[in-house]
Structure formats: structure tokens, C-alpha cells
């Protein structure tokens, strides 16, 4: 049956997967190494190796590396790992949102995560001392993450409820509901800021710009649970999302439980994105731009885009945070500023490219 | 558990490694310890104590005295401190105003073994002396001479000030978008106005800084508008400010009594507090008979 034409390599969807996983893992590994080795405090590869051996219990730490070990273990390692987890979670959530809405502009912010989390954190910053009094001190460092996480989820719940009619999630309605809920949250946020003092307004501003400077080991298990687990869950949605790309009716006829998939996608993406926002403040453009980068390199199949986005998102945020702590040393840039500085021009370039290619937008 | 391991195995050597052998003694003896400082009043106090040479980094609000701070690395805004940037400076002491933050970063800095001393950011009578004593104790020198000099300068103004009539003052933080952002009670500006014998006419209206409407401004009827020189320049100078609707409706606007003073000098209640107080009184009561204060080395920039 074979014809000469079949000598051409036949593109198969699975082909890109090993490439994506290997390439993404290699990039992430390189970024993690760079994140651990570079920065305003000097750490040598030998110091990193000695710390690693010491940690693994293979060789006691030589005294000359004590300082590097402490920088690595107390300041840098938790921060680099937090960046990787959050970046992976944000990018996965973004990829799924873009697939679900069949819209290249979608990211978790679109269904209310960022605005809900921002409102809740600002409320905690400004009203916390009044509402909880001395207890606010005991809740301390957990008050903001808990508030951000709950706020993000509540906003998504409101959006999802407004976007559901007779058990059917209408994607267009969902988008509009997201815009409306975000506007409402922003209005309430404005009210709170009006009632805040000068210091609180500054704190709010810095939270809105995002930072990983407060990263600590104790946060990592929680972040892994809230971000990594839902991000892994999102990976299972690759096939249904591919089917949805054809249209909801077509997906249904292909045997995809469309409503269940939409719900699962929204819930998992909301948990992952809210969990990320909770520990870092708002970090834009990772969820928006990284999936586009992956599609550009490896094609649009979700089997490749979802794991590729997770790995590349982790890589990008680790590197962005490295820039955030290095560029203005010894001061520190907000990491959300770095991601926006890198992401916005890239996104413009992408738009321009699409326009030139005549694909429309 | 991880935290426990880090504490036991990494931090003990770190504390030793971060603090070179001579520091433990030096910090007490007031010689060589390297200080990172966040808070303009604290930086001024360190310099007034003659220890400016020990500073290795200051925050973005610390610009005085320029000779000793201009060349230093900046660690950013004191409410958004860096972690690694501070660790990389390996200071023997980090002096923080009680307003410094964010709290999460302070926790990491403490875990990293940085010796942190928090100094209360007080305002009003006695605040500058308290800072002088607290900073001196933290860096291991005697602060009594400085504290006594500040207290004497401050007290020398008390009697002549009591004889002056109170002036109603409106403190305007900025004129962003035309609505003046006005300081109510619980602000450094409120304390500075009270120290100069003035009445903060927004004191009863609110706490902190709020935008003031034109109608509201007329009701407050300030005799003078006080601003930081930096914001006054940004707003286009006294004439522009007096012509802003919210200010033009007040006696201060009509008389053109718009006063600008350097922000940290006016508001930080550092070692120059008495001199700042005297300057503000003279601006509110031109020609008032106030005793001159002795020349102090820490008031010369």
C-alpha cells in the first residue's frame, strides 16, 4: 500500500512529548542551578556541592563553607523552590484556561483569582489588626496567604456560579462574569485603600507587585499541596481539552464529558493559581505568555502544552526571581515587575507575529 | 522538621561565619562593626554618634548627612526590604526602624542569623533622645551626650513657644490630581505641628492621610499649609499650590502662606528634631523671638 510520499516523516502528536519533557526538565534543572549559584551573596559550586553532601549525610560540611551553606539553606533554596512551584502552577493554570476558553488571552486572572485574592489580602492588611486584634499577631505570616487563597477561590466560585445556567457552564458568560466580579473586587479594594493609612497603602502596593522574598521552608509543603497537586491534576485534562478545541458539541460527540471537564478545569486552575498568589502576591504574565511559548516551539496539542508549560513556567519564574534579587542589589525588585517587563514585550511580539502571519487575533 | 535541621546544623556555623572574629567585641566597644541601617532617623543618629563610618548600606529614605550616605549601597524602601541583598552585605548589625518590613522578610533575615535590632520609631517630645539612647546601646557607644544635647535644645524652645498664639496648620502630603492628601491624627506631621505649637486642623477629621475635598478644606480654615519641600516642588511651587481649588478657598491659600520644609528633617524626629522644631516655629511665626540653638555637628549636612 505504501506510496513514495510516505517516505516523508509522518507527524505524530506523541512525538513532541519526550522532547518537551526532556527539554523542559533540562531547562528547569539549569535554571534551578543558576538560581542556587547566582545572586548578590556569593555561593560557589564547591559550596553548593559541600552543602548537598552535608544535607544528604554523605560528608560533613567543611567549616569554610558554613556561610555559603547558610545562605543556600535559609535564603536561597526555599526561594528557588517556591519560584519553581509557583511558576509551574501559574503556567499550567494559564494553559488550561486558554484551552478551556479557546482564547489566547485567558489566564487565571480572567475568572477572578487575582482580583479576589488581592481584595482579601488588602482586607487582611487593613482590617486584620482591627478585626483580630492580638490574634492577628499570632496568625502572623499565615494571615495573608490564607486570606489570598480563600479570596481567590471565593471569587472563582462566584464567577462559576454566575456563569452556570441549568447546570451548563457557558464559557462566554463565564468570561463576562469574570470581568464583572473583577470590577467589583477592584471597587471594594479602592474603598479599603481609601480607609487605609499611608503605610498600609505602600504595603498593598508592594503586595500587588509580587515578591518571593519571604519564602521559607515551612511554606513549601503547603504550596506543594495547593499548587503541585492541582497542577498534576490539570495534566490529565490534555485529551478532553484537545477535543474541546474543536468546539463543545464536537467534543461531546467524541465522548468527552464536557461539563465535568469544564468544572474540573476551573476548580483545579483556581486552586493552583490561588495557592500561588497566596505566597507571592500578584505575578503576572507567567500564566499568559509561557503557554504561548510552548505552543510556538512544540505545537498546540495539550498533551505537550500542559507539561511543557508547567516545566517552562517553573524555569521562567526561577530566572525572573534571580533577576529580581540581582538587578538592583542589594535592594530587590518586585518579581511581578520583572515578569511584566519580560512578558509584555514578548506578548506584543507574539501579537505582531500573528498579525503578520494573517491569523488574526 | 526541616527548620529544626537548618537551625541546628546551618545557623550555628553561620552566626560564627557571618560575624568575623573581631566583631563580637567590636560591636560592644564601638569600633569596627559593620552596620546596615533602615530608617532616616536611625541613619542620622548613627552619624550623629560619630559612627557613620561603620555604615555599609542604608535604605532609600536615608539621604542625610549626604557626605556619609551618598556613596553607600541602597537596600531599597524600608518597608520592602530585600533578603539576599542584606545577607550579601554581611553586616554585623542591622538597625531597623519599628516600621520596617515586610514581616516575612524579617523572619527570614533572623533565620539567616543576621543580628537585627529594632528601634522604636517614636514621635513628639523625647522621641529623638530615646532613639539616640537606643541606637547608641545597639551599636555599643555612649549616647548620653547626644541625648542630653537634643533634650537641652528641645527644652530651650518650650518657654518662648508657649507665649506664641496657636496657628491652624494643614499638612499636605501631596497634591496628586488636585485633591490634597492631608495628614490627620496619628501621623508624624501631626506630631511635628503640635511640637511647633500649631494646631493640626485636620486632626479631628481623620487618622492617617486622606484626600481632602475643596468644601472640606474651607471648613477646616487653615492659616498655613505645610508641605514637604519635595512635594511642594513637584506641585509647582507655593503659587501653584495656593491656586489649587481646595487650598484657594482657605485663609492659608488667600494669604499665600504655603510652607515647604525638607521631609525627613521635618518628620523623622531624629537628632535634628529640635532644630527642625525651631525652623517650623519661625516659618509659622515669622520674626518670633526664639533663642538661637547652639551649632551641633549633626545638623550640618
Q: Quote the pLDDT of residue B31.
A: 47
Identify the CA nearest to B201 among candidates B170, B165, B242: B170
What residue of B is the nearest CA neighbor of A145? Answer: B104
Option in B76, B102, B187 nearest A331 (CB): B76
Q: Quote the pLDDT of residue A351.
A: 82
HEC profile of chain A:
CCCHHHHCCCCCHHHHHHHHHHHHHHHHHHHHHHHHHCCCCCCCHHHHHHHHHHHCCCCCCCHHHHHHHHHHHHHHHHHHHHHHHHHHHHHHHHHHHHHHHCCCCCCHHHHCHHHHHHHHHHHHHHHHHHHHCHHHHHHHHHHHHHHHHHHHHHHHHHHHHHCEECCEECHHHHHHHHHHHHHHHHHHHHHHHHCCCHHHHHHHHHHHHCCCCCCCCCHHHHHHHHHHHHHHHHHCCHHHHHHHCCCHHHHHHCCCCHHHHHHHHHHHHHHHHHHHHHHHCCCCCHHHHHHHHHHHHHCCCHHHHHHHHHHHHHHHHHHHHHHHHHCCCCCCCCHHHHHHHHHHHHHHHHHHHHHHHCCCC
Q: Quote the pLDDT of residue A12.
A: 54
CATH architecture of A83-355: Orthogonal Bundle (1.10)
Same domain, B176 and B137: no
Q: pLDDT tens across B166-207, in order?
A: 999 999 998 866 678 899 999 999 999 999 999 999 999 988
Q: What is the mean pLDDT of residues A96-100?
A: 93
Residue B260's domain spans which residues? 164-299
Q: Please list every residue in chain A whose beta carbon sits closer than 8 Å to the beta carbon of residue B186.
A: 197
Q: Please list every residue in chain A whose beta carbon sits closer than 8 Å to the beta carbon of residue B73.
A: 329-330
Same domain, B149 and B196: no
Q: Nearest CA of chain A to the CA of B288: how many Å?
A: 33
Neighbours of B295 (CB within 10 A): 8
Q: Nearest CA of chain B to the CA of A67: how many Å?
A: 5
Percent of chain B with pLDDT over 90: 72
Same domain, B103 and B187: no
The pLDDT mean for chain B works out to: 88
Cβ contact, residue pair A330, B11, below 8 Å: no
The pLDDT mean for chain A works out to: 88
Q: How many CB pairs under 8 A join A and B?
A: 144
Cβ contact, residue pair B103, A42, below 8 Å: no
Higher local confidence (pLDDT), A198 or A29: A29
Which grid cell sits at B115? 543580628
**8 A C-beta contact, residue A90 and residue A276:** yes
Option in A54, A70, A328 nearest B14 (CB): A70
Cβ contact, residue pair A330, B186, below 8 Å: no
Q: Is the peptide bond before A330 cis (omega within 30 degrees of 0)?
A: yes
Q: Which residue of A202, A331, A335, A336 to mutate against B (max B Cβ within 10 Å)?
A: A331
Cβ contact, residue pair B84, A71, below 8 Å: yes
Same domain, B135 and B31: yes
- ipTM, two decimals, is 0.74
Confidence of residue A357 (pLDDT cuts 50, 70, 90): confident
Single out the residue in B155, B177, B202 at which a domain terminates. B155
Same domain, B189 and B267: yes
* 3-state DSSP assignment of residue B209: strand
Single out the residue in B155, B185, B213 at which a domain terminates. B155
pLDDT surpassing 60 at residue A137: no
Number of domains in chain B: 2
Q: Quote the pLDDT of residue B3.
A: 42
Percent of chain A with pLDDT over 90: 56
Q: pLDDT tens across A42-89, in order?
A: 899 999 999 999 999 888 888 889 888 988 998 899 999 999 999 999
Higher local confidence (pLDDT), B10 or A100: A100
pLDDT surpassing 50 at residue A5: no
Same domain, B105 and B144: yes
Same domain, B250 and B125: no
Q: pLDDT tens across B27-76, in order?
A: 444 445 999 999 999 999 999 999 999 999 999 999 999 999 999 999 99
Single out the residue in B155, B183, B217 at which a domain terminates. B155
Q: What is the mean pLDDT of residues B125-141?
A: 96
Higher local confidence (pLDDT), B4 or B234: B234
Q: pLDDT tens across A172-196, in order?
A: 888 899 999 999 999 999 999 887 7
Percent of chain A with pLDDT over 70: 93
Can you give the pTM of this predicted structure?
Answer: 0.81
Q: Quote the pLDDT of residue A354.
A: 77
pLDDT surpassing 60 at residue A342: yes
**8 A C-beta contact, residue A24 and residue A311:** yes
Same domain, B185 and B84: no
Q: Quote the pLDDT of residue A45.
A: 94
- The enclosing domain of B60 has a CATH number of 3.40.50.1980
Cβ contact, residue pair A332, B113, below 8 Å: no
Q: Quote the pLDDT of residue A140.
A: 65
Option in A40, A140, A328 nearest B103 (CB): A140
Amino acid at each position: 500500500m505504501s506510496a513514495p510520499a510516505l517516505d516523508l516523516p509522518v507527524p505524530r502528536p506523541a512525538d513532541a512529548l519526550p522532547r518537551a519533557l526532556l527539554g523542559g526538565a533540562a531547562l528547569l534543572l539549569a535554571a534551578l542551578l543558576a538560581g542556587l549559584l547566582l545572586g548578590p551573596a556569593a555561593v560557589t559550586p564547591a559550596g553548593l556541592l559541600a552543602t548537598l553532601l552535608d544535607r544528604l549525610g554523605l560528608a560533613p560540611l567543611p567549616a569554610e563553607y558554613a556561610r555559603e551553606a547558610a545562605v543556600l539553606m535559609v535564603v536561597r533554596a526555599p526561594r528557588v523552590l517556591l519560584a519553581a512551584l509557583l511558576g509551574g502552577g501559574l503556567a499550567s493554570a494559564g494553559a488550561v484556561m486558554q484551552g478551556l476558553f479557546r482564547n489566547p488571552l485567558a489566564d487565571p486572572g480572567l475568572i477572578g483569582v487575582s482580583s479576589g485574592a488581592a481584595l482579601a489580602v488588602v482586607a487582611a492588611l487593613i482590617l486584620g489588626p482591627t478585626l483580630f486584634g492580638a490574634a492577628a499577631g499570632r496568625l502572623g505570616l499565615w494571615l495573608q496567604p490564607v486570606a489570598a487563597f480563600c479570596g481567590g477561590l471565593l471569587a472563582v466560585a462566584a464567577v462559576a456560579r454566575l456563569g452556570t445556567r441549568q447546570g451548563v457552564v457557558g464559557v462566554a458568560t463565564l468570561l463576562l462574569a469574570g470581568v464583572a466580579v473583577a470590577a467589583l473586587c477592584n471597587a471594594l479594594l479602592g474603598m479599603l485603600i481609601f480607609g487605609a493609612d499611608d503605610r498600609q497603602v505602600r504595603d498593598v502596593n508592594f503586595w500587588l507587585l509580587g515578591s518571593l522574598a519571604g519564602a521559607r521552608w515551612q511554606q513549601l509543603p503547603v504550596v506543594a499541596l495547593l499548587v503541585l497537586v492541582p497542577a498534576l491534576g490539570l495534566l490529565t485534562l490534555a485529551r478532553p481539552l484537545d477535543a474541546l478545541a474543536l468546539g463543545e458539541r464536537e467534543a461531546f460527540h467524541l465522548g468527552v464529558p464536557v461539563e465535568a471537564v469544564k468544572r474540573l478545569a476551573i476548580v483545579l486552575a483556581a486552586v493552583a493559581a490561588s495557592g500561588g498568589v497566596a505566597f507571592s502576591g500578584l505575578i503576572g504574565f507567567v500564566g499568559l505568555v509561557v503557554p504561548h511559548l510552548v505552543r510556538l516551539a512544540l505545537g498546540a496539542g495539550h498533551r505537550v502544552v500542559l507539561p511543557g508549560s508547567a516545566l517552562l513556567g517553573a524555569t521562567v519564574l526561577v530566572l525572573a526571581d534571580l533577576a529580581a534579587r540581582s538587578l538592583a542589589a542589594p535592594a530587590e525588585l518586585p518579581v511581578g515587575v520583572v515578569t511584566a517587563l519580560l512578558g509584555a514585550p514578548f506578548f506584543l511580539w507574539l501579537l505582531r507575529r500573528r498579525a503578520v502571519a494573517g491569523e488574526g487575533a | 522538621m526541616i527548620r529544626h535541621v537548618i537551625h541546628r546544623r546551618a545557623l550555628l556555623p553561620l552566626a560564627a561565619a557571618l560575624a568575623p572574629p573581631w566583631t563580637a567585641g567590636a560591636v560592644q566597644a564601638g569600633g569596627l562593626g559593620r552596620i546596615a541601617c533602615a530608617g532616616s532617623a536611625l541613619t542620622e543618629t548613627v552619624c550623629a554618634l560619630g559612627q557613620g563610618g561603620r555604615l555599609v548600606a542604608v535604605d532609600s529614605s536615608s539621604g542625610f548627612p549626604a557626605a556619609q550616605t551618598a556613596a553607600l549601597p541602597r537596600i531599597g524602601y524600608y518597608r520592602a526590604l530585600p533578603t539576599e541583598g542584606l545577607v550579601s552585605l554581611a553586616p554585623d548589625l542591622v538597625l531597623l526602624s519599628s516600621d520596617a518590613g515586610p514581616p516575612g522578610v524579617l523572619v527570614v533575615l533572623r533565620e539567616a542569623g543576621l543580628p537585627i535590632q529594632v528601634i522604636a520609631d517614636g514621635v513628639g517630645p523625647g522621641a529623638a533622645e530615646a532613639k539616640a539612647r537606643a541606637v547608641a546601646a545597639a551599636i555599643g557607644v555612649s549616647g548620653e551626650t547626644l541625648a542630653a544635647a537634643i533634650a537641652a535644645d528641645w527644652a530651650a524652645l518650650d518657654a518662648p513657644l508657649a507665649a506664641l498664639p496657636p496657628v491652624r496648620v494643614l499638612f499636605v502630603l501631596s497634591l496628586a490630581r488636585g485633591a490634597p492628601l492631608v495628614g490627620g491624627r496619628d501621623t508624624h506631621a501631626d506630631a511635628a505641628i503640635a511640637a511647633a505649637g500649631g494646631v493640626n486642623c485636620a486632626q479631628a477629621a481623620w487618622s492617617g492621610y486622606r484626600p481632602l475635598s475643596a468644601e472640606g478644606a474651607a471648613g477646616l480654615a487653615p492659616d498655613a499649609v505645610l508641605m514637604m519641600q519635595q512635594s511642594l516642588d513637584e506641585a509647582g511651587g507655593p503659587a501653584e499650590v495656593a491656586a489649587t481649588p481646595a487650598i484657594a478657598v482657605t485663609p492659608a491659600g488667600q494669604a499665600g502662606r504655603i510652607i515647604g520644609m525638607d521631609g525627613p528633617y521635618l518628620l523623622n524626629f531624629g537628632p535634628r528634631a529640635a532644630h527642625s522644631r525651631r525652623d517650623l516655629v519661625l516659618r509659622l511665626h515669622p520674626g518670633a523671638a526664639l533663642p538661637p540653638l547652639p551649632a551641633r555637628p549633626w545638623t550640618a549636612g
